[in-house]
Structure 1
Amino acid sequence: MIFLKKAQEMDKKYIYQHIYEEIKENILNGRLKPGEKLPPKRTLAEHLNVSINSVMNAYEQLLAEGYIYTVERKGYFVEKITQFINVGNTNKPLLADDLKESIHDKDGWLSLSHMNSNISLFPFKEWMKCQQKAIENHKSELSEIIHPQGPYIVRKTISRLIYLNRGVVCEPEQVVFGAGTMSLIQQLMGMQDKNSIVAMECPGYSRLYHLLKSMEFDVHPIHLDDKGINIQEIEKSNVNFVFVTPSHQFPTGKIMPISRRIELLNWAAVSENRFIVEDDYDSEYKYETDNIPSLQSLDRNQRVIYLGTFSKTMLPGMRISYMVLPPDLLRKYRLHYSNFIQPCNTLNLFTLHYFIENGDYNRHLKRMNNHYETNRKILIKELNNRFGENIKIEDVPAGLHFLAHFKTDKSYEEIVNLANKEKLEVYTIKRFMYDKPYYQDGWVSLVIGFANIQANKIAEAIDRLHRILYKKEK
């Protein structure tokens, strides 16, 4: 009789699981040999003082997984199983220390991050109503694999929205949904010739820079002048893709004037393989004046690929972004991604459709514009009052962040370390440079976000920032 614990020795989880686990272990460690017959179910049940059903369930599970086999009218037998190969130290921990994660304790932290948005004012009640409407009206679509670019009805809604809000001219067929801007760019560049040469603003979006480098593209950092990306540097380089953030340059906040926009469009127009990728990531937020039309709205030659996202206006965790492709690239996209499965949550896409159609989205956007404008003004006033002549703010009334330069003897590395000690989330310009520091000679530059800090916490955040930049270490 094989050695197994009796019922009274087993803990209270399902008895058949204990029988299954112990027989499996005996097979794997060689105590039960290939071809060896297992006891009949009734015999083993009586021996273990358990029900026949418990033994039968254990045998059936072992049979399903291939540990045993059955011969009609003869019973159950041990299967011949290939033995594991043990390589290296089998006693080492499952996960090395450098791979382990710890939960970030946010208690007591304040945020001046450019990456966050405020969800405390999000109209969840209205969103849930739209979600219920989506469930009622789209049961069949929710049970299917949808169009690779996203449901047509939602793409139609988006094309109308960005025409009214951003001047983007496109048909619903040109819209492609994706789970974040980075995934859309990965798709876009994944269908390009690997010999393509890419230009990026410097300073700029470091995640994008590293993505393109990992895809083995030749990436040229192009510096900025007072109008944005330097057109002379672009013309001197042999690039054919230019990534820009013209409505609110990331991270400097510069707004590209019409003269530079036309220069950029003219650069693209003279060659068939030149394209501009316009990342319009937080263009919905413009204070004191009307929104500035998108670069795509000026494009007469179908050379602009437009990227937008709902991460800044709604919920970052929702992961809904979209891309508008010129017709020639759309044809290429459909050939390249004919078997692609749309990554966005279908229910969220239909919910977004009704959220926009009902007017809830524009009402929320207007409310958040007012809220962020108030926060921005309070923050800039507090910074100027506290730092005086030791601060220079790039005061562009747009977006959810601005660039500020501080006179200090602290290095960028010291600032990062001290910010962690002070529990203040803030980012330096060094994070967004690819080749050289942005400012030197006793000045540092910080990207100051104001979306996820309460107005009554701004003064405390500025106090912490002041200590970071000027407090002497003991």
Structure 2
Amino acid sequence: MQIQVNSKGKGRFIYQQIYRQIKEQILSHQVRAHHKLPPKRELAKSLAVSTNSVATAYDQLLAEGYIYTIERLGYFVEEIQRFDINDQITPSFPEILREEESSREGWISLSHMNANPKLFPFRKWLNCQAKIYEEHMDELSEMPHTQGPYILRKNIANFIYATRGVKCEPEQIIIHATSQGLMERLLMLQTTKTAFAVENPGYARYYQLLQRHQFKTHLIPLDDHGIDVKYIEQTNAQFVITTPSHQFPTGTIMPISRRVELLNWASRDEQRYIIEDDYDSEFKYQTDNVPSLQSLDYNRKVIYMGTFSKTLLPGMRISYMVLPTKLLAAYQEAFPLEIQPANNLALYTLNEFIESGQYEKHIRKMTKHYEEIRTALIEALSNNLTRDLVIYDIPAGLHFLIEVPTSKSYEEIEQAAQQEKLELYTLKRFSLNPLPLIQRNRLLVIGFANIQMEEVDEAIQRLARCI
């Protein structure tokens, strides 16, 4: 064996150099199988290194199976097949898969998905986290309950009853890292014959999930009251996914007449359910919050879904759903050993954040901030864009829709936004088929979750150049 050791240069430890060179010679079959390696002291002397360095290298090779030992005889090379190498596989990484490290410097966000990290109370959150180390150390050392800590589910149940009118027991709540993960588990409880109805335009990620699992999916158009129940009745759908408190992306608030109509549709068949995605319902301006659809559900037909991504930070990834008792029994039977995917420390910290009253204070603070930003955006749009601009001013959530007359296509507007460093989404992203896009004017989603007040005028100037 040819081994060279650099004892003065920077880099690998001496034992790592020995280990690596012997391993490479074994894999390349420069050293034949069952060849005896030099004794540790002999090799150490020839390399002018310590015996411990050689012993450590041999131990690592032994642990990985490159060599074996025979008592009183020494170390020998293990018999290892040559690698079968496919000549058709290129060793270089495909350029089409390579990501560019992008900089957000100079960008302004009109996204509905982001949050403003400058306004998040990090110190108070960390204070709550510090308290967890003192009071819940035992729980942090254990595997969490598959549905999430009971204490948090209890506080969520109390909170959504007080704010959204949702009636449930803590046992009905399932916590997960993402709403998509929750939806996927619901799909796993269904047969492939189950049909779904979704809003169009609507949440593309749910639609893609349904398509991936090959469920029959009906795209239901919207009217001024939200999802059109008459169209649902013409399908064989058993599940309807809807956003009644702030339709995504149009912003429509479903009135009581349509809510009753939808609930009655579900009540007429034992297999029918409504999935209510209440994704940004915490933020309502000028009037009180609209109660959830689940609060009107006397027949236990509504699956309520909520998230903390809009009120905390998107990267924290904590969502939950409330299952009717019949579905809860099926869920617990299907997922008795499922590992809780959300971060256990974050879950207990969130519980303390809620219990201490900091969460409610944060929502009040953010609601006031968002209302100010929203008002400034609407005023700037009205004053600086074309007279024919239509603003769908629905005072809820973290975005609103505008309709602009322009000769540009959606693709051209999106390309212009990239050049202007303006994070902007159009209706094209949320149209599940081309039907919502046929109108002459263009519909843009104006989000205000992560734009600073001092950026508003500049954002509108960039938007004007895009359209």
2:102 counterpart SS class: coil
Shift of 1:446: 0.4
Report the CA distance shift for 1:190/1:108 in structure 2 as closer, same or farther (over 3 A): same
Report the CA distance shift for 1:266/1:441 in structure 2 as closer, same or farther (over 3 A): closer
Shift of 1:125: 1.2
Shift of 1:436: 1.7
Instruction: Deviation per CA, 1:367-396: give whole Å up to 9, x if none.
Output: 000000000000000001111423101110
- Distance in 2 separating the partners of 1:12 and 1:178: 43
Select the residue among 457, 460, 466 that pairs with 1:459: 457
- Distance in 2 separating the partners of 1:250 and 1:439: 16
Check whether the contact 2:193–2:215 (CA below 8 A) recurs between aligned residues. yes
Instruction: Deviation per CA, 1:230-271: give whole Å up to 9, x if none.
Output: 010000111000000000000000000000000000000011
Check whether the contact 2:5–2:14 (CA below 8 A) recurs between aligned residues. no
Instruction: Deviation per CA, 1:291-316: give whole Å up to 9, x if none.
Output: 00000000000000000000001111
- Distance in 2 separating the partners of 1:210 and 1:103: 27
- Distance in 2 separating the partners of 1:136 and 1:235: 55
- Distance in 2 separating the partners of 1:290 and 1:330: 31
1:414 aligns with 2:407: no
Check whether the contact 2:200–2:436 (CA below 8 A) recurs between aligned residues. no
- Distance in 1 separating the partners of 2:154 and 2:349: 14
Select the residue among 265, 282, 295 that pairs with 1:284: 282
The one-letter code sitting in structure 1 at the alignment partner of 2:45 is: E
The one-letter code sitting in structure 2 at the alignment partner of 1:122 is: F
Aligned length: 467
Check whether the contact 2:304–2:321 (CA below 8 A) recurs between aligned residues. yes
Check whether the contact 2:5–2:18 (CA below 8 A) recurs between aligned residues. no
Structure 1 match to 2:341: 343
Check whether the contact 1:38–1:78 (CA below 8 A) recurs between aligned residues. yes
- Distance in 2 separating the partners of 1:91 and 1:270: 59
Select the residue among 436, 441, 444 that pairs with 2:442: 444
The one-letter code sitting in structure 2 at the alignment partner of 1:219 is: T
**In the TM superposition, what are the counterparts of 1:293-332 in structure 2 within 5 Å?**
293-332=291-330
Report the CA distance shift for 1:217/1:405 in structure 2 as closer, same or farther (over 3 A): same
Check whether the contact 1:430–1:437 (CA below 8 A) recurs between aligned residues. no
**In the TM superposition, what are the counterparts of 1:127-142 in structure 2 within 5 Å?**
127-142=125-140
Instruction: Deviation per CA, 1:26-57: give whole Å up to 9, x if none.
Output: 10111100010011111111111111111111
The one-letter code sitting in structure 2 at the alignment partner of 1:40 is: P
1:43 aligns with 2:42: yes
- Distance in 2 separating the partners of 1:421 and 1:89: 39
Report the CA distance shift for 1:312/1:6 in structure 2 as closer, same or farther (over 3 A): closer
Shift of 1:119: 2.1
Check whether the contact 1:7–1:48 (CA below 8 A) recurs between aligned residues. no
The one-letter code sitting in structure 2 at the alignment partner of 1:47 is: S
1:198 counterpart SS class: strand
- Distance in 2 separating the partners of 1:9 and 1:126: 50
**In the TM superposition, what are the counterparts of 1:91-130 in structure 2 within 5 Å?**
92-93=91-92, 95-130=93-128
Structure 2 match to 1:433: 431
Instruction: Deviation per CA, 1:332-351: give whole Å up to 9, x if none.
Output: 00000011011111111111
Check whether the contact 1:147–1:342 (CA below 8 A) recurs between aligned residues. yes
Structure 2 match to 1:71: 70
- Distance in 1 separating the partners of 2:90 and 2:372: 58
Select the residue among 180, 183, 188 that pairs with 1:182: 180
Structure 2 match to 1:212: 210
- Distance in 2 separating the partners of 1:241 and 1:294: 18
Report the CA distance shift for 1:267/1:179 in structure 2 as closer, same or farther (over 3 A): same
**In the TM superposition, what are the counterparts of 1:2-81 in structure 2 within 5 Å?**
2-7=1-6, 11-81=10-80
- Distance in 2 separating the partners of 1:384 and 1:346: 46
Shift of 1:5: 0.7
Contiguous gaps of at least 5 residues in structure 2: none
The one-letter code sitting in structure 1 at the alignment partner of 2:13 is: Y
2:327 counterpart SS class: helix
Report the CA distance shift for 1:232/1:4 in structure 2 as closer, same or farther (over 3 A): same
Contiguous gaps of at least 5 residues in structure 1: 470-474
Instruction: Deviation per CA, 1:135-174: give whole Å up to 9, x if none.
Output: 2111111111111101111100000000000000000000
Select the residue among 228, 252, 261 that pairs with 2:250: 252
**TM-score by structure 2 length?**
0.98
The one-letter code sitting in structure 1 at the alignment partner of 2:342 is: C
Instruction: Deviation per CA, 1:180-229: give whole Å up to 9, x if none.
Output: 11111111111111111000000000111111110111111100011110
Check whether the contact 1:438–1:445 (CA below 8 A) recurs between aligned residues. no
**TM-score by structure 1 length?**
0.97
- Distance in 1 separating the partners of 2:277 and 2:397: 13
- Distance in 2 separating the partners of 1:258 and 1:282: 19
1:249 counterpart SS class: coil
